[in-house]
Amino acid sequence: SWHSIPGPKLLLLDGIDRMQRSYMSAFSQDVKDLLRSSNVSVLLSCRTGGPQYQTEIPPGTSVFEIQPPSGREVTKLAKQILADQSSSFLSNLWAGATTHRLLRLPFGIIETINIYEERGSIPRSEHDLVSQLVEGRLKVNERRHSVLSDDLARISTPAVRRLAEELAFQMRIIQGRLSCSDNAISATLTQAIAKARQQVLRIGNLDPDSGLVLLRHYEFIRRTDDAQWEFVHDIFADLLASTSLAQSWQQHLDSLHAASFDDLWTFTAPQVRTEELALMLNAMLKKDVLLGARCARAASSEKLLEQRIRTITGVGQHSCHSLALVTRKLSRRRLQRRTPIVGVQWR
């Protein structure tokens, strides 16, 4: 047991916001049992948006929040990477009023700088930024076709992307998982190949093993040390899964209850058909007002947000406008608060 291990111990536990609710009670009790020892400390990290239910934290807990980079730090990064181009980049960044969540992360800032250096433009939304990262990954690895077999090398990059989209949708939405075991990945990829084949003519007689080789070559998925298959980053999986979710969102509204799907729905909103967007926002506002406001911003439909609030609440136009304004501000605040990792140190 843990108590039999000599010496001081620090236990690092990451991603509690993604833990299933049914596990939380046993998890909390296990941690409390560990802390009965005087030489054990626990560092717990999670997004501030989760867990989305009450968690019992032992007394004496210290809470720390990692703040997003300041304007000065953004300027420093730009100068380090862009040198003489940094002034132009910063002018475009601040003038464009680009405030999406990823610009509050070092990852998002650095990738935005890299895209500006290559293309001379700044992605104006989370969807645009991650889409350009995915496309960049496809282009880079397309140049390495010589390491693939002739059959796999003939599969086009749009077909590879469609396969990755279907696999992400199968894992994230249909199965509700972030990773697959060696046994599960074959069946999951078989379903993804079948779906992709309905829409892509030049995917050939691809089998699951070849599909894994292809998706690993394009750096979409990886196999972990504990024999689990997962996407290289959750945000890539969310973007890829959003393509299929935009076509079938009405069948998957139950996922609105899980905070871990917020990014996926935000990526989905701009892709929903115009005639269905009002219906989707209406369904969101009934379940999660702040997520609905965030998706309205992503879909550039803030006027539609006001109309939906008026329909749901029955308030007048002036009151509705004020309520929508408050909702949008809260959405931005939630967006900011969900970004940092919060460290909780027990002991």
Helix (H, G, I), strand (E, B) or coil at 40: strand
- Other CB atoms within 10 Å distance of the CB of residue 315: 13
- Cα–Cα distances (Å) from 91 to 68, 69, 85, in that order, read 20, 17, 10
The maximal CA–CA distance of the chain, rounded, in angstroms, is 67
d(CA 53, CA 47): 13
Tokens encoding 270: 């701009």
Tokens of 296: 């309205």
User: Of 340, 282, 339, which Cα lies nearest the Cα of 309?
Assistant: 282
Find the helix or strand (DSSP H, E) in which 83 lies: none
Phi, psi torsion values for 294, nearest 5 degrees: -65, -40
Q: What sign for the dihedral angle of Cα 21, 22, 25, 28?
A: negative
Is 41 in contact with 10 (CB distance < 8 Å)? Answer: yes
Q: Identity (one letter) of the amino acid at 10?
A: L
Tens-of-pLDDT digits for all 347 residues of the chain?
656 777 788 888 887 766 766 777 888 888 888 777 778 888 887 765 555 555 566 666 777 777 778 888 889 989 999 888 888 888 888 876 556 777 777 888 888 998 998 888 888 888 889 999 999 888 888 888 778 888 888 888 899 999 999 999 999 999 988 889 988 999 999 999 998 888 766 777 788 999 999 999 999 999 988 889 999 988 899 999 999 999 999 999 888 777 678 889 989 999 999 889 888 888 888 877 778 888 888 887 766 666 666 665 554 454 444 444 544 444 444 434 333 333 333 33
Q: Which residue has the tokens 């689990």?
A: 228
In this structure, what is the dihedral angle of CA atoms 264, 268, 269, 270, given to the nearest 10 degrees? 130
240/117 Cα distance (integer angstroms): 25
Q: Is 35 helix (H, G, I), strand (E, B) or coil?
A: coil
Do the beta carbons of residue 269 and residue 299 sit within 8 Å? yes
pTM comes to 0.74
Distance CA 325, CA 319 (A): 10
What is the residue type of 179?
S
In the numeric block, which tokens belong to residue 70?
């300041």
**Pairing of the two strands 221-223 and 228-231:** antiparallel
- What the block records as the tokens of 76 is 């420093």
Q: Which long-range contacts (CB under 8 A, 24 or more apart) does 325-331 make?
A: 327/289, 327/290, 327/292, 327/293, 328/293, 328/296, 328/297, 328/302, 330/289, 330/290, 330/293, 331/290, 331/291, 331/293, 331/294, 331/297
Predicted confidence at residue 59, as pLDDT, reads: 65
Q: How confident is the model at residue 168, as a pLDDT?
A: 96
Strand ranges inside 132-226, DSSP E:
179-181, 221-223
Name the token pair of 47.
């997004």
